[in-house]
Each structure stands twice: as C-alpha cells, then as structure tokens.
Amino acid sequence: MSESQKKFQLHLMYLSISLVSCFCVMTNFYVIQCSNIVGLMCLIDFYFVRRKDMILHHFLVLCMLHYMNNHDDIKNRSEIVSVILSTEISTIFLTTNNLLEMEGNMVIAKNINKLLFVSTFVYYRIYNYIYYLILDNNIHKIFYYYSKNNFEFFEIYSGVYGLFFLNLYWCGIILKKIVFTTLYNKIGANA
C-alpha cells in the first residue's frame, strides 16, 4: 500500500469518527459511548501523529474523557460531554479538506469547505466552548464538587483549559493563514 493510500485511509477514519461524534451530539444518541470511541481514536492516533500540538491535544482529550467516565454520577454529564464532542464538528471539514487536497483541482469545493471549517471551528471550539465550559459557574461547581482529590481536579481543569488554549493557538494559526493568503492574493493581483 502506498503512502498516499495510507494517508487517505487515515483521513477517512478521522472523518468517520467525526461524523459519528456529530451524529451523537445532534441526536443525543449514546454520547458517553461515542466519547469513548473518540478516546480510543486518540489512543490509536498517538501512533500516527508527530506534531507536538496534536500529541498534547490527544492527551488533554483523554484527561477530560477519563474524568467524565469516572464520574457517572454527574447528572448533566452527557451535556458536558456533548459540548466536548461538538468540537469534532469542525474536524469533519478539516479532514474533508485534507481529502479534497489529495483529489486535485476542486477549487470551489475546497473554498466552500474551508469557509465551513473556519466558521465551525470558531463557533464550536471557541464560542460554544467558552460559553458552556469556561464561563458557566455551575460547571465549575460540578467539577469542584466531584473532584475527589487534587489529581482529578488537575485532570479535568488541565483538559478543559488546556484544550481551550490549544484551540486559541490553532485559531491564531488559521487567522494568520487567512490574512497572509488574502494579502498574497492581493499582491499577486496587483503585480
């Protein structure tokens, strides 16, 4: 099997996991079990990823999911996990973009997909995440109440805030790429 076929299969696997996550979040269908599939994917993906930010991402996701799986007595656990899983919605468009890049010249589809990626990234990974996991005092009271020791407290908060700051970092990279691409295109058009 060639390297490009392996990459294609890997991106299809990412896309499949993201689509299942999206379905589970939108229909409230076995959200906790779906989060375990995402956690398993993060474990498997440790073998494939080399970027430090992705390794950190997978570690932080596993911290959050481990905490949530150990506290099945949290009454609104599936709502919290739904917010965490909803970040996978932007991954649908990221992996679709990677697949489109492998297919060649599909400029309009790529541009529409990139617009969908950026908008879902900003909405689910920044706005929605801040609103439900960072600014909601009830969530913090729940995490404080259910954390039986310092390790659990560290586990959930390193996951919640670590992912938030990692998403802000990625958002900065995305915006920088958009700005430089736009400037490059304007300079190229004027030359």
**66-83 pLDDT per residue, tens:** 999 999 999 899 999 999
119: which 2 tokens? 């908008």
- Walk along the chain (191 residues) and give the pLDDT tens digit of each residue: 788 888 888 889 889 999 999 999 999 889 999 999 999 999 988 888 889 999 999 999 999 999 999 999 998 999 999 999 999 999 999 999 989 988 778 889 999 999 999 999 999 999 999 999 999 999 999 999 999 999 999 999 999 999 999 999 999 999 999 888 777 777 766 65
Tens-digit pLDDT profile for residues 12-22: 988 999 999 99
Instruction: Note the pLDDT of residue 191.
Output: 58
What's this model's pTM, rounded to 2 decimal places? 0.89
Give CA–CA dist 44/38, Å, rounded: 10
How far is the CA of 79 from the CAs of 27, 32, 35, 93, 110, in angstroms? 12, 10, 12, 23, 33
Q: What is the pLDDT of residue 104?
A: 76
CA distance 56 to 162: 9
Q: What type of residue sits at position 51?
A: R
Alpha-carbon span 75 to 71, nearest angstrom: 9
